[in-house]
């Protein structure tokens, strides 16, 4: 039997799957990365894949003039929900999931950048992907967002929250998850983001190098926590594969 295939939608240079991709590949999954920002076309349906991973980017979910492929990415997410296909939307990916399923996204009054503590909600303790995060020390994750989900889609199950952002993670159906934070990144991954976002970070009273250094200091913890998270999601993709078996 061939390896489970995951369609990865990358919205911008420097925003790849990083450690999530590394863990999935090591788990035996085949990542098919589409980069519409570089001219790749997105498929009309996710039918040829076993999982869908939609990554982040500096644009917002309504910025189709800047990124005209966003509606196509939203269509894929909507179809994934209808099929209950294993899906993970990260940051912009979660925001696109929200909009695609009838929720709303707004500009955050208090953007989150850098490390942030997350608070599991009661449904997380019964969630296949998030349950391990409800035990022991509250999880922390890297944040880098100026937009946030204001109204969840109908039927969404909230899983995580934080002091500044009510909706940090939620689930649709049994197999579709969105996370506002970035489980895929470590210090080296965000170093370039700090360089390109110097102005916005300074406006928030943040020093880019200090943000990167703070993440670097927690790198071992982040690698273990979110690496395991990625592996669990990969195992769900493998267990629930629905795409046709390929030679």
Q: Which residues are catalytic?
A: 91, 182, 184
The CA distance from 142 to 90, in Å, is 11
- Strand pairing category for 140-151 and 119-120: unpaired
The CA distance from 120 to 139, in Å, is 8
The CA distance from 26 to 162, in Å, is 31
Q: Give the other-Cβ count within 10 Å of 26's Cβ.
A: 12
The CA distance from 221 to 172, in Å, is 28
What phi, psi does 146 have (nearest 5°)? -110, -10
Does residue 150 contact residue 195 with C-beta atoms inside 8 Å? no
Give Rg (Cα) of the chain: 17
Would you say how long the chain is, in residues?
247
DSSP state of 182: B
Angle at 192 between CA 186 and CA 198, to 5 degrees: 115
Helices (H), the chain: 18-26, 70-83, 92-100, 187-196, 198-203, 208-217, 219-239
The CA distance from 39 to 34, in Å, is 9
């Amino acid at each position: 039997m061939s390896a489970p295939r995951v369609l990865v939608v990358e919205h911008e240079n420097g925003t790849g799957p990083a450690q999530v991709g590394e863990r999935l590949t090591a788990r035996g999954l085949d990542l098919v990365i589409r980069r519409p920002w570089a001219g790749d076309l997105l498929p009309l349906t996710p039918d040829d894949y076993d999982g869908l991973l939609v990554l982040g980017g500096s644009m917002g979910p309504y910025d189709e003039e800047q990124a005209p492929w966003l509606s196509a990415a939203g269509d894929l997410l909507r179809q994934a929900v209808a099929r209950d296909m294993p899906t993970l939307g990260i940051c912009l990916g979660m925001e696109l999931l929200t909009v695609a399923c009838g929720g709303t996204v707004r500009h955050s009054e208090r953007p989150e950048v850098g490390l942030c503590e997350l608070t599991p909600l009661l449904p997380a303790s019964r969630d296949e992907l998030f349950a391990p995060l409800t035990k022991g020390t509250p999880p922390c994750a890297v944040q880098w967002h100026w937009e946030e989900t204001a109204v969840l889609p109908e039927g969404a199950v909230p899983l995580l929250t934080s002091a500044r952002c009510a909706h940090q993670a939620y689930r649709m159906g049994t197999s579709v998850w969105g996370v506002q934070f970035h489980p895929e990144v470590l210090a080296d991954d965000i170093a370039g983001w700090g360089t390109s976002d110097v102005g916005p970070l300074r406006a928030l009273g943040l020093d880019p190098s200090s943000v990167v250094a703070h993440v670097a200091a927690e790198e071992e913890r982040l690698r273990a926590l979110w690496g395991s998270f990625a592996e669990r999601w990969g195992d769900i993709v493998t267990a629930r594969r629905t795409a046709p078996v390929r030679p």
